[in-house]
Amino acid sequence: MGEVRKLQKKLRQIENLEIKISHSLTPEERVKISRKAELRTRLADLLLQLCGPQQTLEIVGEGKQGKMKRQVHSDATSEPHPLHSPSATKIPKIPKGQTEQTAQQEKTTSLKETSREKGSKDEAERQVKAGNGGKESEPRPARINTSPEEDQDAEFTSLKASWEKAKFRLRSLEGHSDIITCVVAVDNLVISGSRDTTIKVWHVPTATEQRNLGGHTGGVTCLAVPPSEYCRRLACDLSLGEKEWFILSGSADCCVKIWALSTGQCVKSVYTFNAVTALCFVPEGHGYIITGSDGGKVQAWSWQTMENCQSINAHEEAVTSLQAQGPLVFSASAEGGVSVWEGLCSDRQPLRLLHHWDAAVTGCAGQGGRLTLSPRGDRLFVAYGTSSLRILNWRTGTVFRLANHSSIAGVTDCVHQTEGLLIGSCYDLANGESMLNLFSLPRCRYLTSLTCADTPRILSFAAWLTGSGGHRWVTGGRDLTVWEQLPSSGKQRGDITAKRDCRLDVTPMESEGLTGDEDSDDYSDDDGVDEEDHTSQNAAETGLSSWLRCVLQESEVIEGVGTE
């Protein structure tokens, strides 16, 4: 297991190096990247050995054989499960102290009573028939009482069957010259932010670029869309149409900008004095923009005036995710901590801390990943760069772990909710396969996995429904890709494969007092680790996650080139 983890660590380092701009790679880094195929082969072989011959899983996708077959090889004998045991005639037991003769008498008496009941029932039916003029009465449909659990199971079975037949058409949106770090959707438009410092607006039905929003001097790290009522207020103040939409963007150049989508113009901008790594909008009072920085600071800004209302040293390391749910704000940081804030509608102190859970509770210590959040009621879904998702009850601090990959070589970069679905991205370090795992809400039951052979690692995700009710998603990373759901009844072939992995059919497991788990990629012993591991260790000392570090560092490179 130790060698497996070291190989995982090296492959993660290579993935982070590949995110860097090619011209900034050193010769040593290029050599490390050249070993990727070799390390993947070694890791795949070791994982196969760890699985062993005891259990073989065959997962089949679409078509007539679209079912999962499972074979278990074991020398040990096991009793049949009571739900799957063959039917048999039940032999009644004679109670202790009762003779066989007495039992036979009771049995005869019971048969007589049954016969009398049957005779009474037949007589009642004859009377009903006579009352209907000799006609047979129509049989009444049997009334079936089902429990809420049975109804939910039936609904889940139907939903699972429909997603097993899912078809999606994939389309690439080409125009960015670097990693796509963030995506949002408005109507039929997709807005993408990239490390190349630009923000692009795409018309999805035609897959064309509508606008290129240039103005940041550093990589764009985050985007947000204010609610429509706040857009209307600002549009009125700026004498723009009442249907105007605005987009918020944050960048490593320490700026937050507000863009009008109809014109592509930057209507407001503020310098935050810190590289902006996350932002969200709080629809309370006149509205607030909440930003997170690379140093762990959380700040609140007035939507109307862009004045700073509050600055809080909230986290020890970079803020990697900010999400709003009504008046609540959830922040996560690279050190593994999660904080919950309440919006107070006050111009002096808009935010008040409700809860803070450190890495010892969340179990995200030392992961080296970029924590992303998706809130739902009392629960927070947390993706943190490993093979599982965390489900945190932010009121009690209870944590559950939800399997998002069947192998410890899986990496989860983002998590999203849409129309009763929980969607987690997954990237396999061993074979380079990228997929989306679908779970039903609210019980987080596994539905299916969607994958395409050519899909690169997914770093950002957005979703919405079309006018016909179909799903439309967009994923960002090395490429910007639109996933368009096709009618399941049509003859068109989709570009994706839907398959189920029975190893994900598990109930979320409760985990208490975690300081890390089998997914951890941070090791104290350096025995057997060559010098390429020390590069990653030095990078970790900056207090930034490796992915975020690449975004900020390369943004500085671009900014420096532009100013020379």
User: What is the full per-residue pLDDT of the chain (564 aa) written as tens digits?
Assistant: 677 777 777 777 777 666 665 556 678 777 777 777 777 777 777 777 666 544 333 333 443 333 333 333 333 333 333 333 333 333 344 444 444 444 455 545 554 455 555 555 455 455 544 444 444 445 555 556 677 778 888 889 999 999 988 889 999 999 999 999 999 998 889 999 999 999 999 999 888 999 999 999 999 999 999 999 999 999 999 999 888 999 999 999 999 999 999 999 999 999 999 999 999 999 988 899 999 999 999 999 999 899 999 999 999 999 999 999 999 999 999 999 999 999 877 767 889 999 999 999 998 876 556 899 999 999 999 998 888 999 999 999 999 999 998 888 888 999 999 989 999 999 988 888 899 999 999 999 999 999 887 788 899 999 988 888 889 999 999 999 999 998 877 667 778 888 888 888 887 776 544 444 444 443 333 333 343 444 444 433 334 555 566 666 655 544 444 443
Which fold would CATH assign to domain 159-174+369-515?
Neuraminidase (2.120.10)
Instruction: Give the list of residues 6+ apart from residue 420 with CB closer than 8 angstroms, or none.
Output: 440, 441
Q: How far is CA 494 from CA 232, 403, 425, 455, in A?
A: 39, 27, 19, 14
* Token output for 492: 């068109």
Number of Cβ atoms within 10 Å of the Cβ of 58: 11
Amino acid at 302: S
Question: Strand pairing partners for 353?
Answer: 341
Domain segments of the chain as ranges = 2-70+546-563, 159-174+369-515
Confidence (pTM)? 0.74
* Token output for 386: 């490993």
Question: CB–CB of 190/503 below 8 Å?
Answer: no
Q: Is the dihedral of CA 329, 332, 333, 339 positive or negative?
A: positive
Question: Strand pairing partners for 362?
Answer: 514
Q: How far is CA 58 from CA 26, 32, 50, in A?
A: 43, 34, 17
Q: In the Cβ-directed half-sphere of 458, how many Cα atoms lie within 13 Å? A: 33
Helical packing angle, 546-563 and 2-19, nearest 10° = 20
The string over 293-306, giving b where at least 16 C-beta atoms fall within 10 Å of a residue's C-beta and e elsewhere, is bbbbbbbbbbbeee
Q: Which of 465, 483, 425, 504 is nearest to 167 (CA)?
A: 483
* Token output for 410: 């899986």
Q: What is the C-alpha separation between 188 and 207, in angstroms, rounded? A: 10
Give the three-class secondary structure for 207: coil
Only one residue has tokens 């970069």, namely 413
